[in-house]
Each structure stands twice: as C-alpha cells, then as structure tokens.
Chain A
Amino acid sequence: MKRRNFSRDLWQINANLKQDKVRNPQSEIEIEMRHTLSIVVADQPGELSRIVGLFSARGFNIETLSVGQTTDPAWSRVTIVTRGDDRTIEQIVKQCSRLARVRVVLDVTMQPHIEREMALIDVEATPGAARQELLSLVAVFRAKVVDISETGMIIEASGNKEKVEAFIDLLRPMGVRDVTRTGCIAIGRLSTAVNSTRVSEEQEFAQAVNSA
C-alpha cells in the first residue's frame, strides 16, 4: 500500500515520477501529483476568499487548506494541498502570484520539506484491554491523549498525511466516533541538513513500526 510507505518523503516520490517523465518524454500520460503550495498573502479581510475564489473559478481543486500568521503579522501564510499535472500546477502558481496582495507563491513539493497535519480523534476505549491497546498505539505513533472519559479517549496525532491516515485506519476497528483534521502545513528543510545529518521522523517511525 503506497500510503504506508513512510520511508520516502512525498517530494522524493514526486521527483522520481518526474524523472520517469523526463526519461520518457513521448509518454502522453500527464502525471497528476499532489502539490503543497505555500502562499504568503497580506493579512487583510477578503484576501483568503480571493485565493479560494480563484481556485474554484478556474476549476482547480483544494484538498486541504490552512492559514496562519507568518513571522510578520502583516502577512499570512496559506498552505494549500492541491492535485494536478505540471501545467495545471504552473497555472495555479501563476494565477495566485497575479493577485495584488500575494507576495510569493511557492510549490514546496519539489524541494526537501517537512509536512505536518494534525488530527483530534475521538475513540471508544472502555477501561481494560481496549484502553491498553489504544495506549500502545498512541505510543507507537507518538500521539497524545488529550482527554479521557469512561467510554473513550480523545487522541491528538500529528505527522504527514500518510501517517495520520494510517493511524486513523488502525484505530477504526476500535470505534472511531469522530475525527477533526487540520489542513497540511509545510516548511522547507534547512538546506545544510538535507544530505548529511537529516533525521527524518518518518524514517525513524518506519523503523519503530517494523521492529514492533
């Protein structure tokens, strides 16, 4: 299952797909890939709807969306995960860049970066074995228990999309009553750490899962 492939970052998968395309330019297949766009826009009323409106008006799709302040309170960062072939993504980037209050649009997907999402998961867990089982999964996934009652627990989990989804999938048989998920946020890796001392949580995590 591709979703469980934690050992490779999405950007690596994308880069490989892209290489295939370069090697075989005759191929008519346009590769639709997930892209994470980081848009820095003025923190003013209506600017978010300008971006979202542009996506719907031009027929682009938004998988996840998250918004927050940057280091400068005058500017917000909008992180959008979208899907499309290279030309579509190029158009999205260009169309967003055209907006008067957008400072920069980055497609972070094609460079080493870190992505995180968060989920709050309400799971059934009665005292006893079920609760113990749940707690051990929480430990393996480096999640957190943030609320507890007689009948259940609320778990806070974070990681990339694949990890969060894998976690929720694993919890499902135990009785997931509700899930709230954030959109994806992303940041570029520190360039010096890329090749040498990079510690990938995913790699570490994959080892933990394998050894368990």
Chain B
Amino acid sequence: MSAQPQTLIPSSSTSACRSLPEPRGAEILIEALLHEGVDSIFGYPGGAVLHIYDELWRARDRVTHYLVRHEQGAVHMAEGYARASGRVGVALVTSGPGATNAMTGIANAYMDSTPIVVITGQVPTPLIGTDAFQEVDTVGITRSCVKHNYLVRDVRDLAAVVHEAFHLARTGRPGPIVIDIPKDVSAARASYSSLKNISFPLVERKWPPDPQAVAEAAAAIMNAERPVMYVGGGIVNSGAAEALLAFAEELQLPVTPTLMGLGGFPSMHPLCLNMLGMHGTYAANMAVAESDLLIAVGVRFDDRVTGKLATFAPQARVVHIDIDPANVGKNRAPEISLVADAREALAALQTEIKNLGQLYIDRGIKRRAVWWNRIRAWQLEQPLRFTGSGDHIKPQTVIRELHRLTNGDALVVTDVGQHQMWAAQFYPFKRSRQWITSGGLGAMGYGVPAAIGAQLVLGNQLVVAVVGDGGFQMTNQELAMAVQYDLPIKVLIMNNGYLGMVRQWQEMFYERAYSEVDLSVSPDFVKLAEAYGAFGVRATRPDELSDVLSAGLSHKGVAVMDIVVSKEENVFPIVPAGGNSRDMIVHQEGV
C-alpha cells in the first residue's frame, strides 16, 4: 500500500475527533450502564464521584438516580431491587466513608449470592496511597466479600470493566462486584467501546449437568426409602421453582426450603414441610434427621441449617446440586455431586427418571407411603403453634393477620431477628421472589431499604417490610427517601421494646441475664413516620390489630404500622447452636 492514503485517513479522522471530543470516563460509565439495561441507580454523592454525578445529571432522562440517606441503604436497596427483579442492582457511592458505609451491604450480597454492582469513587490516581482526604483501599477492604472487584487505573479499561462486572455479577453463583473509579479516571477522555471490545479473556464457567452424575442421582432417588429435598436460594436465583415443583410432584418427594429458599416452593403445597434448621418446623427437622437420602439443591449446608454437622442427617446419603463447586463438599461431603445450574439439573434429573418408566416411578411412590405416614405424624404431633393472649398482641398473630389481609400475595421483606423467623414461619409464600431477607450475614437494618428497592420493581404492588424495633432504627432514615420518590412501602414494626432474639438467647442460655437488650426508650414510631411525611398508625391491643393493619396496608403512600407485641415471646422450635434435631426445643416449657 502506498504511503499517501495511509496519511490521509488518520488526518481526516483526527479532524472528526476535534469536532466531537471523546467522552469522559463518567460518560463512558453511564453509557456502559445503559448498555447493560440499568434504569435505576441508588446512590449518594461525594467529592470523588462529582464527575459521575455531573454526567448523571445530563443523563437524568435515561437513568434515574435515587438519593438515599446512608450508603448502607443504597446497597441494600440495590439488593432488594436485584432480589425482586432477578436483574443486577446498582449502587453508587463516593470514596472513603462512602465505601466503608457500603461494606455491610456488599458483604450481605456476597453471603446471599445477590447480583449487584457497586461503583465507588476513589481519590485521583496520583493521590492513591498517600492517605489522601477520604481515601481508603476500597479494593483491599472489599476483597474478601466480593465476587470480584476492580480498581480502574486507565479510562480505556472502564467500559470493558463495567461489562465484565455485570457479566460476573449475574452468571454462575451471583454476587456483588465492586468497581473503584479514581476521580481523574472519571474525568479522563477515551473512546467508548461497548461489549465487543472486552480486552480480557472472560473466563466462561458453565457446567451442563454431568450425565453420569445425573444417572447416579436418579438411581439414588429411585432407590431411596426416606428421601427429603433440601432446597435453598439457588432455586430462586436460577429460576428453578417450576422445575422443582414438577420434579417433586412427579416423585411425590417431601420438600423443605431453607430461609433463603422460601418461596422457591409453595409453602401451602402438601409436599412442603416448610423451613428446616434452627427455627425450622419439627416435621422438617425430623424428616431430615431420619432421611436416608438428602437431595440438596442450591444450598450450602449452612450452620443455621445443619447445627452440628457430624450429626446432621446422619443416616442420609447426599446428592448435592449446586452451581458453585466450592459449596460442594465444603461442609458435608456428598455421595453424589452435581455441579450445575439448579434448573438445568432438576430438568435433567426429571428426564432421566421419566426414562426409567412410569411403572418404576409409581412403585417408588407406593414404597414411600410409609415414609409419608411418618412425616404426617410428625406434622400432626408438633405443628407450628403459639399460645394466644387476651392482653397482648402475639407477634405470630400479626404475621397470620398480615397474611390474611394481603391474601398471601404481598412481597415480604424482613429485617433480622425474631420477627424475621416468625415471618418465615407464619407467612406462607406462593412464589419465588416473594420473600426477601438477609440470610447469611444477618444484617439488621436490611429491611426498610431492601423493601424500597423491591418496591421500585413492583410498582404499586404491595411490599411489606416486617422489621423489629431494633433493626428499624438502624436504617429508618430511608423513610425520607421512600417518601421523596413515592415508593409506597408498608413498614410493619414488631415492637417488643427488646432486641428480642438476643434477649431470647439470654433467657434460654444465659440464665435470663438481659444484658443490654432493653430498647424501651425508643422514639414514638407513629410520630417519627409523620415527621418523615409518612402515615403512622399504632396497635397495642389485640382487638386493634386488624383495623390498624388494614389502615396501614390500604394507605396509598408510605405507611408505618407500629405493632406493640408481647415483650418476651420466644421463637420456637429452636435447635440450640451446635446442636442437632434431638436437641430441638419445640415449645415453651409448660405450654
């Protein structure tokens, strides 16, 4: 090729560049987010993200930014958004304190495998490492609780980083991704290149169900006398609820969901034994303890489920289906492992079993009738129950009443503590993503912001945040945000004037030494709601409960229902930490 045309082409493109300057990093970031289908960002501005906020202002017609009142709220909202929608939630915070405040949410998303992308500002690259104003080593402090994180040092990498971050957040076992962007990088100019130009070879990790393992698992299931399906958050994350229902019905298998798995299998279904574990039902825990085959799908054998590992399901062989190979064999070594997406694995299993023939399936169902008789006996022997009271509102009644008034259709978000367990026990769920809670991390303060994030997804459908008086006060400032953006969440405070779960443990295991759990001095939550411009209403007597809940739930805007419940109610059953189902305390003594 001659030299002439070569010199001509660049000169013409240079002039084109002059007329249209390359976009700034901030603009590239927004474009990349839009490319990923982001329409909502929860955030809080600050010095290091000024360029990004400047660009957000320009792009305000295309992407909505929701101004939170604390960065923890921003990340929990992104989580609530992700959990309710199945899409990636996005939070944007500044450097230093912005990043440290976001930590709880990031860790929470990591423990519960929630796909979020958290964008943090960072001090300009020349200042990194100088203890600059509002500098923390964000990638360093978030490293152990993210799926992956990035410090973007070159604006030319930014677009690729964003696209890879979204890819990583939602594929495989979902999780949080942190993108740390120094201020000078968001100001620098580069050309925007979308998905096609990802410089780093993406490590694609996809496991189709291994046919050999599927066959082994199918055989184990067909031969089992006392099988139990133990299903978790993986069902919800992979959208496997339908596949699970079809599979369980086909074989008439008992199903017990974990706290994270609630909604993944309809609670009222005759095959459902409801939640297992520390506060699981008697029937679920007994069935697991006596089972000869545990079909574990999308679970990680968490200590709140297993109690003492050595005595968890002691007679059972284990088929473990999980998308994360590191979960398989981490706590309990399975006899058969199937590293795959839960939906694909269940579908493959069902096909495999169908191929064995209907006769075979029917014979299995017939044989397991004995097992079902035992399970039904456990269910009758010790159903979930509580004693009523004429003087005080019982917290369990509140959840029952909530269920009745909402026809079981509300999306229920909880905080962490006793109310969370009562909601899990007494609100039967119909569908996946109807239940949002902080499981692994157990982060108080999760309820209100997560409900706000979920409300954004659900529009005007009913989202109820069931919270305690303790957790509510950790993030109640976000009520202002809910009011500001007209996200009409309904907050149901189970107000017992105590840090109830800690108090329960102190009562049961520390000789009633109620050390620092008294919350009787709290603000007037009705007035507080009104101060935020929300609707507040209170019930203190059982006969008020229905009307107060109805008033709160039917209010058009943000509502706070302060339900004063009996002070020293305990969550039962309880398997003490490190125990097993033999140690299960089913009910309060003398009741």
Chain A residues in the interface with B (C-beta under 8 A)? 42, 45-46, 49-50, 53-54, 57, 87, 90-91, 94-95, 97-103
Contact = CB atoms under 8 A, between A and B. Distances in A.
24 contacts: A42-B200, A45-B153, A46-B139, A46-B143, A46-B151, A49-B143, A50-B143, A54-B144, A57-B144, A87-B329, A90-B329, A91-B329, A94-B328, A94-B329, A94-B330, A95-B326, A97-B326, A98-B326, A99-B148, A100-B147, A100-B203, A101-B148, A101-B203, A103-B203
Nearest to A57: B144
A100 B330 contact: no
A97 B143 contact: no
Interface in B300-344: 324-326, 328-330, 333
B33 interface: no
Contacts of A87: 329, 333
B559 interface: no
B168 interface: yes
Contacts of A91: 326, 329-330
A8 B557 CA distance: 76
Determine which residue in B143, B144, B325, B326 has the highest number of CB atoms from chain A within 10 A of its CB, and name it.
Answer: B326
A101 to B, nearest CB: 8
Nearest to A50: B143
Contacts of A53: 143-144
Nearest to B153: A45
Which residue, of B139, B203, B329, has the highest number of chain A Cβ atoms within 10 A? B203
Interface in B142-201: 143-144, 147-148, 151, 153, 168, 200
Contacts of B153: 45
Contacts of B326: 91, 94-95, 97-98
Contacts of A98: 324-326
Nearest to A94: B326
A97 B325 contact: yes
B198 to A, nearest CB: 13
Q: Which 5 A-B pairs have the closest CB atoms?
A: A94-B326, A100-B148, A57-B144, A94-B325, A95-B326
Contacts, number: 39
A178 B329 CA distance: 44
Contacts of B329: 87, 90-91, 94
B143 A100 contact: no
Nearest to B144: A57
Contacts of B325: 94, 97-98
Contacts of B200: 42
A49 B137 CA distance: 13
Given A87-B329, A87-B333, A91-B329, A100 B139 contact: no
A102 B153 CA distance: 21
Contacts of B147: 100
A97 B326 CA distance: 9
A102 B201 CA distance: 11
Contacts of A45: 151, 153
Given A49-B143, A91-B329, A100 B151 contact: no
Given A91-B330, A95-B326, A101-B148, 4 more contacts: A49-B140, A90-B329, A91-B326, A102-B203
A97 B324 CA distance: 10
A211 B434 CA distance: 77
Nearest to B177: A100
A57 B328 CA distance: 19
A181 to B, nearest CB: 28
A84 to B, nearest CB: 13
Contacts of A102: 203
A53 to B, nearest CB: 5
B295 to A, nearest CB: 21
A57 B200 CA distance: 27
Nearest to A44: B200
A45 B329 CA distance: 31
A42 B325 CA distance: 21
A14 to B, nearest CB: 20
Contacts of B144: 53-54, 57
A49 B140 CA distance: 9
B14 to A, nearest CB: 31
A76 B439 CA distance: 37
A155 to B, nearest CB: 39
A91 B200 CA distance: 27
A45 B326 CA distance: 25
Contacts of B203: 100-103
Interface in B188-244: 200, 203
